[in-house]
Structure 1
Amino acid sequence: MKTKLIILLAMLFSAFAFLPERLIKGKVTDGANALIAGVRVAIQGSPVGTATDQGGHFTIRVPRLGRALVFSKSGYKALTLPITSDSVMKVVLTQASVKKKDIAREELKDSEQPVMVRKMFTFDMAAAPSTHSETILAMPQATESYKPINENGFLSVGQQPVTTFSVDVDRAAYSNVRRFLNNGQMPPEDAVRIEEMINYFDYDYPQPRGEHPVAIVAETTDSPWNPGLKLVHIGLQAKTVSAENLSASNLVFLIDVSGSMNEANKLPLLKQAFKLLADQLRVEDKISIVAYAGSAGMVLAPTSGSEKKTIKDALDKLEAGGSTAGGEGIELAYDLAKKHFLPKGNNRVILATDGDFNVGISNESELQKLIEEKRKAGIFLSVMGFGMGNYKDSHVETLADKGNGNYAYIDNIQEARKVFVQEFGGTLFTIAKDVKIQIEFNPAHVQAYRLIGYENRALRNDEFNDDRKDAGDMGSGHTVTAIYEIVPSGVKSPYVATTDALKYQPGNAATGSSNKEMMTIKVRYKQPDSEKSKLFDLPVPATTVAFDQCSANLRFASAVAEFGLLLRGSEFKGSASYADVIRRARAAFGKDEEGYRSEFVQLVKVAQSLDGSQEGTRTDVRVRR
């Protein structure tokens, strides 16, 4: 009888465990009714939590069985409130008295943090915007880091007629921004990489024809947010290779199982995501699994992709706990990939982590050197980011760039499906590597120009022809989109500074038939198994098409770019508005079979409401030293 009762209780518990979550919103104030930013809001007995924004507001998803929320912030007494049937909470915190010895204890605690963390600046939700070398979003018990972005300005064609950059097929910034907005917070400015937001979406560019595996198209129209200026939309399309014709894969899953991964949106989501990837594998593919925490170890020896149950069982056995020996794990993963190297196959390490490396080879420059060496040996590295709170975007983005791989941020199972199922070929199979773009503008038609986004992908002009210089890669079916905003010749603009004409340069304005060209786009790339680059170009005529007559590709991409300008508070946003973004995006949905473009409009509405609730201000983060 007792056994039957235990079984019945277990069944009831299992049933309740899968009940849907619900959304609770609220605001936190002090005794004087002043709103408090940066308050940690956590589900009692769970690591899941969020923090209040600049206006003291929070939004959190709680399971049906959740009993209480815990509110905590330094300088205030922690407060635990029961979860009732109400979906809106009003919380009042009282200040705590702080003794000198308590302050000393906190300083000692901080001094015991890993050296890598102590060297970083940390953000307080109430302090001034950062101008330092790394952006850290810090909340109680949580830090996130992002590389600084110094937004591209307008460059004079008379002074610098040539511009060069590396392509970028990463999409991590968009899904990360989505995570912030869905949690009721505006993203930090440095988390908004506009090129990754634009490239998150697929575009209907023509497939390559002829000898090159990449095709290029261009359109010119009037700028929707800066009257008198123009937009040049550039699209690259990599050749799509059918799944049956893709080369065999030698993949090593390198999975972070450290203590920081012990949250629902980290290791559990990671397991689900990699199971989706396992379902795409074929008999000729080989999979290994390496897990790392305090130390690294092999969880699954090289196994055929046909043995899906074996692969999934190995994933199910993973548990989080311990510190993070990221460097040691990477070395072991590369050793496995090298041991089972396929000379004509796809050899790749797929790292899944929150980016919190603090044991082993934690020095970023040493990790980069290791990854670059392995890349030259034909073993690429892709990175899948998970989690929030302590997410280290600045680390994992760099590792993926150096490893000739992709970088994705997986915030939910739908994103995992997008990355590992819908975009399987592009995620794992390189069609062209070290893809660079160089543009020469014709001063007869262009006075000044600026590239929207790609700040971290800029190259020197001489690096375009240097085959030793690494650049971005394109996978099967990948698209890359770039947008230039230009000031036509003869147009006055406050964005263009007055510069003196060059004294010693010969006149270089194009003449004759070439004077009808506004610019020339040059693309340089390498075959995946070659170190010698190939070159082709596309002259772009000086013709402008009315915005409403342009392709849906240009119209939707420009809406995403405008949204990025708003999120970043760009000085070049002109008359940009959320309403215009929504209107133009809706008019360029196209087929939208998966609903990504309609989801985009919903995110814009969320950002619009968050800005509106703060009278047009952003939930900015500020430096505390």
Structure 2
Amino acid sequence: MKNLKRFLILFALIQLSCETDQTGTERYIGNESYGPGIISLPGDSYNEYEENQFIYTAEEPVSTFSIDADGASYANVRRFIMQENQLPPKGAIRTEELINYFNLDYNFNNDSHPIALNGEISRSPWNNANKLVRIGIKGKSIEKAGLPSSNFVFLIDVSGSMGSEDRLELLKNGFKYFVDELNDEDKVAIVTYAGSAGVILESTPGSEKQKIKNAIDQLGAGGSTAGAQGIVTAYEIAQENFIENGNNRVVIGTDGDFNVGISSQEELVDLIEEKRESGIFITVLGVGRGNLNDAALEQIANNGNGTYEYLDNLEQLRKVFIYDYNKFYTVAKDVKIQVNFNPKNVEAYRLIGYENRILNEEDFEDDQKDAGEIGAGQNITALYEIIPAANSDFELPAFTIDFRYKQPASNTSSAMELEIFDDENSFEQSSDYMKFTASISSFSMLLSDSQFKGSSSYDKVLYWLDEVNLPDEHGFKAEFKQIVEKAKGL
């Protein structure tokens, strides 16, 4: 009887390891041992999504979506695999964020716009009957000396749940890296929140780096989490110190465990939508495991003119705060893509990833409709898998891509266009950009057991990666191979 009870308890814990609540949010319940037995900790929260299906061009030739410049999903997936020796829950896997984590060094060759475009078609490596489309976007680079003056507000969660080394201490180290990158003309204020919000440092010039670091060093964790109050306070301070034609941004660091005041995802999104009208951008930094509210943090960034990153180790701190520092400077906002597929060449298409970034066709020209942002020097990639039409006419473009974006301080969008022809390239003939992004996509489909994974395998992903020769200054692409190898064993 005792063994039966143990079995039933273990079975119940396994059933709880990945569940969905009534709000449509996936709850991943982590387990941790405290002496005898296993205690089920409060769970991470992830939004559910339905994988994009094939759409027949004859019925719906136009596909519209917002770009996504986030990289949080990749770092979170890496932590599951490399640190915790387990595959991530499906809700943690957002293919577009895995792809867009990497710097692909796309060329920038556009004097008229702050973004440049490129694209190509090849055979699909996991289904030879289909083809793969790559759409690339590159944000204009800005030399550090040419960056606009910045008004930053650090909004730091110091509630009780932030007490562990992988949360507040990680953030404190990261923000000190950030301070070292500041120009003397920049300004920084620090707001903290636990049971209530407090101003720890009034807006201070970047020339006073040690004063800012001293304020960061004094932070400690304790209390409940009034996240919404902290957001309101941070935006008020950012507004008080607003720099016209400058870079005004709130940088929030938290596990997202909001439990005082406004705390539901819907209410937080409503709040952040109201605040984005002020012309202030946001960067969301997620930390921790066990009660990480990935669902809310991603949506705060998506709806607040911002981006979302997850911090899992010190090298990730360096990536976010040093190597990718220019991403804190938006060069184009509300970037939308509309692809018009030619039914003579494309029978059906499927957007890979971007499930929660799909827009209605009429949203494309609606300047009131929010979309994604791209930072200075940043690249964005989107992939489509297409079913070719019989007797395709390769003299005609396979599809036309329309883009709309706004300058950071503008409320009116500008248009761009790109035509892509099918040169009938095999996957082996495609660019290294295609090979690399397709490898990541295949890996993502394996992790999520996608119905479209076709002949994908971890060995094939590793083989394709070995065929790629792209710059890898900080070793992140080499690390990706290690992650694939580890996932294969799990």
Measure how far apart 1:406 and its partner are.
1.2
Aligned match for 1:191, one of 85, 92, 97: 92
Measure how far apart 1:372 and its partner are.
1.9
Measure how far apart 1:132 and its partner are.
6.9
**What pairs up with 1:382-401 in 2 under 5 angstroms?**
382-401=283-302
Q: Secondary structure at the match of 1:149?
A: coil
Q: Secondary structure at the match of 2:473?
A: coil
**What pairs up with 1:551-562 in 2 under 5 angstroms?**
551-562=431-442
Aligned match for 2:44, one of 137, 144, 150: 144
Inter-partner Cα distance in structure 2 for 1:220 and 1:132: 39
User: 2:259: which partner in 1?
Assistant: 358
Inter-partner Cα distance in structure 2 for 1:309 and 1:36: 56
Aligned match for 1:124, one of 12, 16, 25: 16
| Runs of 5+ unmatched residues, structure 2 | 31-39
Q: Secondary structure at the match of 1:474?
A: strand
Aligned AA (1:124): L
Inter-partner Cα distance in structure 1 for 2:229 and 2:20: 36
User: 2:483: which partner in 1?
Assistant: 603
Inter-partner Cα distance in structure 2 for 1:191 and 1:420: 23
Query: Contact 2:19 / 2:27 at 8 angstroms: preserved in 1?
Result: no
User: 1:315: which partner in 2?
Assistant: 216
In the TM superposition, what whole-angstrom CA distance separates every residue of 1:502-532 from its partner, at most 9, and x where no partner exists? xxxxxxx9x9xx9521000111101111111
Measure how far apart 1:36 and its partner are.
9.8
Which contiguous aligned blocks of 4+ residues in structure 1 show a shift greater than 4 angstroms? 34-38, 127-132
Query: Contact 1:123 / 1:137 at 8 angstroms: preserved in 2?
Result: no
Query: Contact 2:62 / 2:339 at 8 angstroms: preserved in 1?
Result: yes
Indicate how the Cα distance of structure 1 residues 37 and 267 shifts in structure 2: closer, same or farther if over 3 A, else same: farther
Q: Secondary structure at the match of 2:399?
A: strand
In the TM superposition, what whole-angstrom CA distance separates every residue of 1:245-272 from its partner, at most 9, and x where no partner exists? 1111110000000000011100111100
| Runs of 5+ unmatched residues, structure 1 | 1-29, 39-53, 55-72, 75-121, 492-508, 611-625
Aligned AA (1:598): A
Indicate how the Cα distance of structure 1 residues 36 and 553 shifts in structure 2: closer, same or farther if over 3 A, else same: farther
Query: Contact 2:26 / 2:45 at 8 angstroms: preserved in 1?
Result: yes
Aligned match for 2:25, one of 126, 134, 142: 134
Query: Contact 2:71 / 2:309 at 8 angstroms: preserved in 1?
Result: yes
Query: Contact 1:589 / 1:598 at 8 angstroms: preserved in 2?
Result: no
Indicate how the Cα distance of structure 1 residues 415 and 328 shifts in structure 2: closer, same or farther if over 3 A, else same: same
User: 2:34: which partner in 1?
Assistant: none
CA RMSD of aligned residues (A): 2.2
Inter-partner Cα distance in structure 2 for 1:294 and 1:474: 34
User: 2:360: which partner in 1?
Assistant: 460
Inter-partner Cα distance in structure 1 for 2:395 and 2:266: 47
- Of 372-381 and 318-327, more deviation after overlay is shown by 372-381
Q: Does 1:430 align with 2:316?
A: no
Aligned AA (1:215): A
Query: Contact 1:204 / 1:553 at 8 angstroms: preserved in 2?
Result: no
In the TM superposition, what whole-angstrom CA distance separates every residue of 1:445-489 from its partner, at most 9, and x where no partner exists? 110000100001000011001111000011100100011000001
Q: Secondary structure at the match of 1:547?
A: coil
Indicate how the Cα distance of structure 1 residues 214 and 128 shifts in structure 2: closer, same or farther if over 3 A, else same: closer
Measure how far apart 1:397 and its partner are.
0.6
Inter-partner Cα distance in structure 2 for 1:602 and 1:421: 23
Aligned AA (1:401): N
Measure how far apart 1:542 and its partner are.
2.4
Measure how far apart 1:215 and its partner are.
0.8
Indicate how the Cα distance of structure 1 residues 314 and 131 shifts in structure 2: closer, same or farther if over 3 A, else same: closer
Taking every aligned residue pair, what percent have the same amino acid on both sides? 46
User: 2:422: which partner in 1?
Assistant: 542
Inter-partner Cα distance in structure 1 for 2:336 and 2:170: 35
User: 2:35: which partner in 1?
Assistant: none
Indicate how the Cα distance of structure 1 residues 599 and 431 shifts in structure 2: closer, same or farther if over 3 A, else same: same
Measure how far apart 1:544 and its partner are.
2.1
Query: Contact 2:46 / 2:293 at 8 angstroms: preserved in 1?
Result: yes
User: 1:236: which partner in 2?
Assistant: 137
Larger-gyration structure (1/2): 1
Query: Contact 1:585 / 1:601 at 8 angstroms: preserved in 2?
Result: yes
Query: Contact 2:342 / 2:398 at 8 angstroms: preserved in 1?
Result: yes
In the TM superposition, what whole-angstrom CA distance separates every residue of 1:63-91 from its partner, at most 9, and x where no partner exists? xxxxxxxxxx98xxxxxxxxxxxxxxxxx
Q: Does 1:177 align with 2:82?
A: no
Indicate how the Cα distance of structure 1 residues 231 and 37 shifts in structure 2: closer, same or farther if over 3 A, else same: farther
Query: Contact 1:123 / 1:136 at 8 angstroms: preserved in 2?
Result: no
Indicate how the Cα distance of structure 1 residues 551 and 37 shifts in structure 2: closer, same or farther if over 3 A, else same: farther
Q: Secondary structure at the match of 1:470?
A: coil
Measure how far apart 1:374 and its partner are.
2.3
Aligned residues: 479
Inter-partner Cα distance in structure 1 for 2:387 and 2:106: 26
